[in-house]
Amino acid sequence: MIDIYVTIELLQGNIAEVRAYWNEHMAGIAEQRWLKDNDIKDKLDREGKAQNGTEFHVYECTLEE
């Protein structure tokens, strides 16, 4: 079994993109890019976007054979 990091991007409450990364660092870079692309500078900005269904989540998952 291998641990991977999965990112899920929601747009207006719908899944827009799902990606898998080998490590937490790369998933974190993807999240920072998303924050910049969506002009999110702080927690309040992020909460405002989430109210419209625009969100980004990072999950640690186990990849099984």
DSSP strand pairing (2-11 vs 14-21): antiparallel
Whether the model clears a pTM of 0.85, i.e. scores above it, the answer is yes
Candidates 14, 13, 18, 16; CA nearest to 51 is: 13
pLDDT at 56: 98
Q: CA-to-CA distance for 30 and 7, rounded, in angstroms?
A: 8
The angle subtended at Cα 34 by Cα 32 and Cα 35, nearest 5°, is 65
Collapsed DSSP state (helix, strand, coil) of residue 19: strand
pLDDT at 50: 96
- Give yes or no for residue 65 having a pLDDT over 90: no
Asked whether the beta carbons of 36 and 42 are under 8 A apart, the reply is no
pLDDT digits (tens, 9 = 90+) for 7-64: 999 999 999 999 999 999 999 999 999 999 999 999 999 999 999 999 999 999 999 8
pLDDT at 18: 98
Structural domain boundaries of the chain? 2-63
